[in-house]
């Protein structure tokens, strides 16, 4: 459940709903927060000092906090000369990225600036981000630490610097065309036109929402301005090993979004399944079990391994269409049918087509692989008929 309230910005005025704010600002600043109460007053003070005098604005906080951050925002916003909206989420679906998408949906301006709530992104650059987008007619303007004039000075510790640079290199290597012109795809500070964002295509996971927007929404025209990454004003970074794993899962999901890429990923995962399969076979035969039942049992270990990876790396966004045990049963039947189908196919290729045993086996492997991929996508992960299978109209947030 999401709780929403707006503080109009003048002490003593009543709380009103977002829809009652009469004049939309020239820019909506979206700030996702998680236990950032110690930074809120400083952030709003910086925004007040640098943004309203140059262009009208509104601020939308999307809060997943377990502390008193919403209350602190409410109190601090009374001194602000612009509307401040708080959307508190009881369930932080999609993590920080999901929070940003919720904020974009609530925005009333054509330009949306996304920034962190820890004061490491200087609000003084908000007008420049918007002005740069208007001058260049761009759909996305990224504040980059990696172009001339930028700096990652506030990124504490050599470990975090190495992780940031490694993640940047990896994402640009995986998406060379879609991230063309973006030197800092890990940046959490950017401006995007509201008309360039299509809510239905976004599937945020974790904190790298710029990557999600650049790859899935593909805004027309991208430009950058430099910025110096500041020291955190208060509190500690929310980065963790768990967030790192979510980031890798997010990368895998983005990279395998097309059918061809999913098929390649499906094949690579299948290759890794040989490891648990062979290990289980070795252990079972060493224990004295006959190789035929041992092979059948060992194959299930490979199937289970493949299912886990496919669930989390290839079809994470489609798991909701069927229950877990339904998906497990269907996947297991398809994977084991592969063994049953392969031998008759080899015999068919050898006796009817006159192929050699080796080439027939290779062709049978390719054929059953393609059939297993198509069957997995169609029978395990596609929506059931009549349950959301229709194509939703694409609309901007």
Per-residue model confidence (pLDDT) at position 117:
84
Per-residue model confidence (pLDDT) at position 280:
85
Residues of the chain with pLDDT under 50: 9-24, 387-397
Per-residue model confidence (pLDDT) at position 207:
61
Q: What is the pLDDT of residues 170-185, one digit of tens each?
A: 777 777 777 777 888 8
Contact (CB, 8 A) for 26 and 55? yes
Q: Which string of b and e fits 355-377 if b means at least 16 CB within 10 Å?
A: beeeebbebbeeebbeebbebbb
Contact (CB, 8 A) for 371 and 261? no
The CA-atom distances, in angstroms, between 377 and each of 201, 363, 371 are 19, 21, 10
Contact (CB, 8 A) for 106 and 3? no
Contact (CB, 8 A) for 284 and 297? yes
CATH architecture, range 2-255: Alpha-Beta Complex (3.90)
Distance CA 50, CA 123 (A): 7
> Count of CB atoms within 10 A of residue 354's CB?
8
Distance CA 110, CA 132 (A): 14
Distance CA 63, CA 344 (A): 58
Q: What is the pLDDT of residues 169-224, one digit of tens each?
A: 777 777 777 777 788 888 889 999 988 777 665 765 656 788 878 777 777 788 99
Per-residue model confidence (pLDDT) at position 233:
60
Contact (CB, 8 A) for 225 and 144? yes
Per-residue model confidence (pLDDT) at position 226:
92
C-alpha radius of gyration, the chain, whole number: 26
Domain ranges of the chain: 2-255, 259-381
Per-residue model confidence (pLDDT) at position 204:
59
**Residue 131: Cβ-neighbour burial (10 angstroms; 0-12, 13-18, 19+):** middle
- The residues, ordered by sequence, that sit 6+ positions from 213 with a Cβ below 8 Å of its Cβ are 140, 192, 197, 202, 219
Per-residue model confidence (pLDDT) at position 12:
37
Per-residue model confidence (pLDDT) at position 98:
83
Contact (CB, 8 A) for 105 and 200? no
Per-residue model confidence (pLDDT) at position 310:
84
- Name beta bridge partners: 30: 60, 114
The CA-atom distances, in angstroms, between 258 and each of 196, 243, 253, 265, 324 are 21, 25, 10, 10, 24
Identify the DSSP state of 384: P
């Amino acid at each position: 459940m999401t709780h929403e309230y707006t503080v109009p910005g003048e002490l003593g005025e009543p709380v009103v709903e977002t829809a009652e704010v009469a004049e939309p600002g020239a820019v909506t600043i979206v700030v996702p927060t998680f236990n950032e109460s110690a930074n809120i007053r400083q952030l709003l003070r910086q925004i007040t000092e640098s943004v309203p005098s140059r262009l009208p604005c509104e601020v939308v906080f999307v809060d997943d906090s377990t502390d008193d951050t919403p209350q602190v925002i409410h109190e601090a916003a009374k001194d602000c000369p612009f509307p401040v909206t708080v959307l508190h989420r009881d369930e932080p679906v999609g993590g920080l990225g999901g929070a940003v998408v919720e904020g974009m949906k609530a925005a009333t301006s054509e330009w949306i600036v996304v920034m962190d709530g820890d004061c490491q992104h200087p609000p003084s650059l908000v007008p420049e981000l918007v002005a740069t987008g208007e001058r260049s007619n761009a759909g996305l303007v990224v504040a980059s630490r990696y172009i001339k004039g930028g700096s990652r000075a506030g990124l504490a510790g050599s470990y975090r610097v190495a992780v940031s640079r490694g993640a940047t290199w990896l994402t640009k290597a995986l998406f060379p065309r879609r991230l063309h012109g973006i030197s800092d795809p890990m940046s959490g500070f950017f401006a995007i036109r509201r008309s360039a964002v299509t809510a239905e295509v976004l599937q945020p996971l974790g904190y790298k929402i710029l990557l999600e927007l650049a790859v899935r929404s593909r805004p027309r025209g991208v430009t950058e301005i430099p910025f110096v990454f500041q020291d955190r004003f208060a509190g500690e970074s929310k980065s963790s090993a768990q967030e790192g794993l979510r980031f890798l899962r997010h990368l895998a999901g983005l990279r395998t979004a097309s059918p061809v890429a999913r098929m390649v990923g499906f094949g690579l995962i299948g290759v890794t399944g040989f490891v648990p399969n062979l290990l289980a076979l070795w252990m079972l035969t060493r224990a004295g079990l006959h190789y035929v039942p041992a092979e059948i049992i060992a194959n299930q270990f490979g199937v289970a391994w493949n299912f886990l990876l496919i669930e989390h790396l290839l079809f994470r966004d489609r798991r909701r269409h069927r229950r877990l045990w339904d998906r497990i049963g269907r996947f297991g039947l398809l994977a084991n049918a592969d063994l049953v189908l392969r031998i008759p196919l080899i015999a068919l290729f050898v006796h009817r087509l006159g192929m050699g045993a080796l080439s027939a086996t290779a062709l049978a492997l390719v054929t059953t692989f393609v059939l297993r991929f198509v069957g997995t996508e169609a029978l395990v992960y596609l929506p059931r008929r009549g349950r959301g299978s229709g194509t939703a109209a694409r609309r901007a947030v």
